[in-house]
Amino acid sequence: MALSQPQKGARELDLPILALTYGIFKRLDFGIGIQRIKSDASGEASIQGFQDLHLASKFNLIEEETIPAVSFSLDIRVPTANRQKGLTSGRSDENLLLIATKHYFPLGIDLNLGYSIIGSPPDEKLKNRFFGGLALRYGLSERWRLVGDIFGQSRAAKGESNEANFQLGFRFRPDLPMFLDAAIGRSLLPSGTRIQGTLGMTWSNSLKF
């Protein structure tokens, strides 16, 4: 769940993503997910409802040894939401992401590089977007991790600004096959998400803490 303030006079609440992921093979998994949002902006009508459905897959290309582990993911956004309510562009998007992971105990490093192919309606002229991010995980104890990341995206449309944000928080692993996350962050630029807070829970029989 995320609560953010994209700009002055606006507020957006992203409810927890309803997602299910299944490992088809040892290195390949497939998932499906959907999220409900509520967005309020000064002088504009409130937007709330379920967004588009996401179909995602992830493949582990290289296992971590002396070199980092490398994975590739593909996320396809299927336009299932109501466009009249402003919940979708009505077009499909494809998100490609390359993930490199390396551990230097008790430190874990993730480097993410991505590219989004945006299906833009003729009247909106949305642009394809580049994504880059660096995440760090530091073990404070057997159950607690300090986590932080910095990430950015290229502009969503002509005339808009690029985005750059950071988050800092904690991850807790109870005596269950799950972990809990909490973080707070803000934009590194005058544009973008002014402030953001997130809460998360992941349940799996094959967690990597």
92 alpha carbon, distance to own chain's centre: 18
- Residue 118's pLDDT band, with cuts at 50, 70 and 90, is very high
The domain containing residue 186 runs over which residues? 54-203
- Residue 54's pLDDT band, with cuts at 50, 70 and 90, is very high
User: Considering the domain boundaries, does residue 88 fall inside one?
Assistant: yes
Structure tokens at 95: 């998100």
Residue length, the chain? 209
User: Considering the domain boundaries, does residue 45 fall inside one?
Assistant: no
User: Considering the domain boundaries, does residue 209 fall inside one?
Assistant: no
Percent of the chain with pLDDT over 70: 93
- Terminal CA-to-CA distance of the chain, rounded, Å? 20
User: Considering the domain boundaries, does residue 20 fall inside one?
Assistant: no
pTM confidence score = 0.85
- Residue 60's pLDDT band, with cuts at 50, 70 and 90, is very high
Rounded to an integer, the average pLDDT of 24-37 is 92
User: Considering the domain boundaries, does residue 157 fall inside one?
Assistant: yes
Query: In this structure, are residues 171 and 143 in contact, taking their beta carbons and an 8 Å threshold?
Result: no
- Residue 3's pLDDT band, with cuts at 50, 70 and 90, is confident
- Residue 46's pLDDT band, with cuts at 50, 70 and 90, is confident
User: Considering the domain boundaries, does residue 77 fall inside one?
Assistant: yes
Please state the domain count of the chain. Answer: 1
User: Considering the domain boundaries, does residue 134 fall inside one?
Assistant: yes
Cβ-count burial of 190 within 10 angstroms (0-12 exposed, 13-18 middle, 19+ buried)? exposed
Average pLDDT for the chain: 89
Rounded to an integer, the average pLDDT of 56-84 is 95
Query: In this structure, are residues 136 and 170 in contact, taking their beta carbons and an 8 Å threshold?
Result: no
Per-residue pLDDT, 206: 60
pLDDT at 87 > cutoff 80: yes
User: Considering the domain boundaries, does residue 37 fall inside one?
Assistant: no
pLDDT at 113 > cutoff 80: yes
